[in-house]
Amino acid sequence: KNEVEQSPQNLTAQEGEFITINCSYSVGISALHWLQQHPGGGIVSLFMLSSGKKKHGRLIATINIQEKHSSLHITASHPRDSAVYICAVSGGETSGSRLTFGEGTQLTVNP
Amino acid sequence: ETGVTQSPTHLIKTRGQQVTLRCSSQSGHNTVSWYQQALGQGPQFIFQYYREEENGRGNFPPRFSGLQFPNYSSELNVNALELDDSALYLCASSLVGVDGYTFGSGTRLTVV
């Protein structure tokens, strides 16, 4: 079992829909990261969370430390949101500052 | 504030050859981590460099090696390339003790 699990693996939505991507982890962490990867390969950091909730524009990230679960929400989705969204964790006792990644969620938003 | 720059962006090598990939860290960052991302998968940790020394290593064989220079830039070297080494190689810089990472755009390596 992977230390970081994401669902769904693939997600197709219509423009304007509310989107949720889930992430569960099985190790102790100091922070959870949500990242966006476009087809060219470059990765952009969206959020870094250690507790609670963060919001940036149409993106909202939440984390429940007790349940070891995080969600990324996209409100009023747009075709430009199409990308791979990756959850990663850092700061565990064995992992230190390295990132441990989930497999990613391929999001496609159709006009 | 400069970001992380990786070079080259694309590379094709023959099985058995050696390759060197380069990464410049973001200004103010002193740690560089390298990751391998196979197609359709999440990135896997290769190793991390801090103060010019390896500071943690993932499950990769010794033919994967690295360097960090006084200006915190880094190299990833892979010897005796295998077909399975074909992947996107990502570099991320950070500041030790501070969570937060800046990624480069990656080098796509194809081994034929």
- Is the Cβ pair A30, B94 closer than 8 Å? no
- Is the Cβ pair A99, B33 closer than 8 Å? yes
- Residue-wise pLDDT for B56-97, tens only, equals 999 999 999 999 999 889 999 999 999 999 999 999 998 877
- Residue-wise pLDDT for A23-36, tens only, equals 999 988 889 999 99
- Is the Cβ pair B105, A41 closer than 8 Å? yes
Averaged confidence pLDDT in chain A: 92
CB A18 within 8 A of CB A73: yes
d(CA A62, CA A52): 6
Mean local confidence (pLDDT), A76-81: 96
Is residue B111's pLDDT more than 80? yes
Mean local confidence (pLDDT), A58-78: 97
- Residue-wise pLDDT for B19-57, tens only, equals 999 999 888 888 999 999 999 899 999 999 988 999 899
Q: Kindly provide the b/e burial profile for residues A72-88, where b requires at least 16 CB atoms within 10 angstroms of the residue's own CB.
A: bbbeebeeebbbbbbbb
Mean local confidence (pLDDT), B4-31: 94
**What is the C-alpha radius of gyration for chain B, rounded to an integer number of angstroms?**
13
d(CA B41, CA B85): 14
Which pLDDT band holds residue A60 (cuts at 50, 70, 90)? very high
Residue A42: what pLDDT?
Answer: 87
Out of A91, A96, A104, closest to residue B42 by CB: A104
Cα distances (Å, whole numbers) of residue A109 to A6, A19, A57, A79, B41: 19, 10, 17, 5, 21
- CA of B17 to nearest chain A CA: how many angstroms apart? 24
Is residue A95's pLDDT more than 70? no
Residues of A in contact with B37 (CB under 8 A): 41
d(CA B34, CA B55): 11
Task: Give 3-state DSSP helix, strand, coil % of chain A, rounded to 5.
Answer: 5, 60, 40
Instruction: Return the residue in A3, A98, A100, A103 with the most chain B beta carbons within 10 A, the one to mutate for interface testing.
Output: A98
Which pLDDT band holds residue A91 (cuts at 50, 70, 90)? confident
- Is the Cβ pair A101, B42 closer than 8 Å? yes
Q: Are strands B10-13 and B107-111 parallel, antiparallel or unpaired?
A: parallel
Residues 6+ apart with CB under 8 A from B8: B21, B107
Residue B2: what pLDDT?
Answer: 65
Residue A28: what pLDDT?
Answer: 86
